[in-house]
Amino acid sequence: MSESVEGLSTALTFVWLLLCGGLVFLMHAGFSLVEAGFTRAKNTANILMKNLMTICVGVLIYWLVGWGIMYGDDIAGILGFSQFCLSGADNSVWNGWFFQMVFAATGATIVSGAMAERTKFISYLVFTVLLVAIIYPVYGHWVWSGADLALLTGEGSAIVKMCGASFHDFAGSGVVHSIGGYAALAGVIILGPRIGKFKDGKPQAIPGHNITFGFLGVLLLWLGWLGFNGGSTLDGSDAYMNLAVVNTFLAAAAGAVAAMILTWLKTGKPDPSLTANGVLAGLVAITAPCGSVENWAAIVIGLIAGGIVYAGVMFNETVLKVDDPVGAIAVHGYCGTWGLLSVGIFAVGMGEGILGGAVYTAGAPGLLYGGVNQFIIQVVGALASIVWAFVAGFIVFKIIDVVIGLRASQKEEVEGLDITEHGIRAYPEYITE
């Protein structure tokens, strides 16, 4: 009897993670729509192809290599190295692989958005292979592998010992979003801005061709985050999935409200694109702390994320002078960092208060609850993700640039990548300006 109860508990986890994985998969539809909607019609088919191939390549490469590097037998806490091609898998491994796989492809999709409208298709594909095979799973190994020596979370890790706490990134503000965001930053620096983005050093608005697609994409992403954060309990019987989901929705809403009010105050009108990015900012930020903080803290984290995305977009355009058509670096990079740090500030601490019974939450309390160690390790982990993603991304993009070229020709860019890369137009019947 006790066996059948346990079997049922496992079955519930399988059902929960397959369905949550499905919701995360839906995020790829969300990213496709956001990236297509907020860019120009002449590059739409190219963007859609990049997003679709991101998943396809993601599925195959994460099966072939990525999972083995992330969850295979640990080598000195740096990476895993076994289980390639899911050798020896059973239903439990397949379940885990599926949920992790839909996450893995997300990192590359983030990069796709930032580098939209001017990157060669083949070069993007090569990068995606390397991100899913190496860049993503290596950092993932440091955080989520459960290995005793895992750099940022293992009990036997020197870093963890030094900081006196284990790094906590519940569903991947760092593993997924920060890695994607800072790799994208490396990419856009090497790539340079789109033709016409800067005039005499001043950023010019290049409006997206279909706001409805953009907003639908944001709503699908939001829904997908239910699976992203809710499923990250990795246990269908862990009641704290409810806290994680509620915090997720509170932060998303707060991020949007903050971004809307900021643009309203600054320009006199509430701006749709930035408000939509405010939702994503809140979602990215709450991804790490959603299982560790109180409701009010989730709202504060979201509000601040809404401010960060606004300031980050301005900073990128006016200070760094980089061109990120959809704001992906601000959303996923900067808000990802904020999410990681926020754990060290707002975490209640395991076994404390509302988290009395939680088994998967930040171990130590944050600054606001009198702890320092959790904050320190969060800073270390956040820096590690920035450095690793930016450096690895930079090297990979540089090599691609030298070997096959990263950027489309000026002629191709002006004509649009749909015709030049794929020989079709996304909307052949419409007359456009």
**Residues 68-127 within binding reach of its own copies (CB under 8 A):** 85-86, 89-92, 94-95, 97-98, 101, 121
The answer to whether the CB of 170 falls within 8 A of the CB of 382 is: no
Q: How far is the CB of 359 from its own copies (least distance, A)?
A: 13
**Pick from 293, 244, 252: nearest CA to 276:** 252
Determine if 53 is a binding residue for its own copies (CB under 8 A): yes
From residue 395, alpha-carbon distances to 182, 184, 275, 390 in Å are: 13, 12, 34, 9
The one-letter amino acid at 129: V
* Shorter beta-carbon distance to its own copies: residue 216 or 372: 216
* Distance, CA of 187 to CA of 206 (rounded, Å): 20
Q: Angle 306-308-310 (CA atoms, 0-180°, nearest 5)?
A: 75
Q: Which residue matches tokens 């109860």?
A: 5
CA atoms of 74 and 204, how far apart (whole Å): 48
Region near its own copies per CB under 8 A, out of 161-169, 179-187, 344-352, 415-423: 415-423
The C-alpha torsion from 354 through 359 and 364 to 366, rounded to 10°, is -40
The reply on whether position 411 binds its own copies by CB under 8 A is no
The stretch near its own copies (CB under 8 A) out of 146-154, 178-186, 239-247, 402-410 is 239-247
Task: Pick the closer one to its own copies by CB: 100 or 145.
Answer: 100
Whose Cβ is closer to its own copies: residue 331's or residue 426's?
Answer: 426
**Shortest approach of its own copies to residue 385 CB, angstroms?**
27
Nearest to 332 by CA among 292, 386, 381, 271: 386
Q: Which parts of 277-336 interact with its own copies (CB under 8 A)? A: 279, 295-296, 299
Its sign, for the CA torsion 77, 81, 86, 88, is negative
- Is residue 138 involved in binding its own copies (CB under 8 A)? no
CB distance 168 to 288 below 8 Å: yes
- Per CB under 8 A, the list member of 2, 201, 319, 402 interacting with its own copies is 2
User: Counting contacts by CB under 8 A, is residue 11 touching its own copies?
Assistant: yes
| Contact region with its own copies (CB under 8 A), list: 136-144, 149-157, 224-232, 345-353 | 224-232
Choose one: 57-65, 171-179, 326-334, 405-413; the region binding its own copies (CB under 8 A): 57-65
Residues 26-45 that bind its own copies (CB under 8 A): 26, 28-29, 32-33, 36, 40-41, 44-45
Shortest CB 2 distance to its own copies, Å: 6
129, 252, 362, 406: which one binds its own copies (CB under 8 A): 252
Residue 420 corresponds to which tokens in the numbers above? 């030049």
The two structure tokens encoding residue 133: 């095979």
Q: Which stretch binds its own copies (CB under 8 A): 156-164, 211-219, 336-344, 384-392?
A: 211-219
Instruction: Count interface residues toward its own copies (CB under 8 A).
Output: 114
On the CB side of 363, CA atoms within 13 Å amount to: 15
Among 200, 212, 402, 411, indicate the residue that binds its own copies (CB under 8 A).
212
**Distance (Å, whole) CA 429 – CA 414:** 20
Apex 44 CA angle, 38 and 47, nearest 5: 85
Please list every residue from 335 through 364 that binds its own copies, using CB under 8 A. Answer: 354
Using the rule CB under 8 A, give the single segment among 65-73, 144-152, 170-178, 421-429 that binds its own copies: 421-429
The answer to whether residues 113 and 31 touch, using CB atoms and an 8 Å cutoff, is yes
Q: Which is nearer to its own copies, 201 or 428 (CB)?
A: 428
Q: What is the closest distance, in whole angstroms, from the C-beta atom of residue 83 to its own copies in the complex?
A: 12
Q: Which of 125, 114, 135 is nearest to 39 (CA)?
A: 114
User: CA-to-CA distance for 300 and 277, rounded, in angstroms?
Assistant: 17
Q: Which is nearer to its own copies, 7 or 196 (CB)?
A: 7
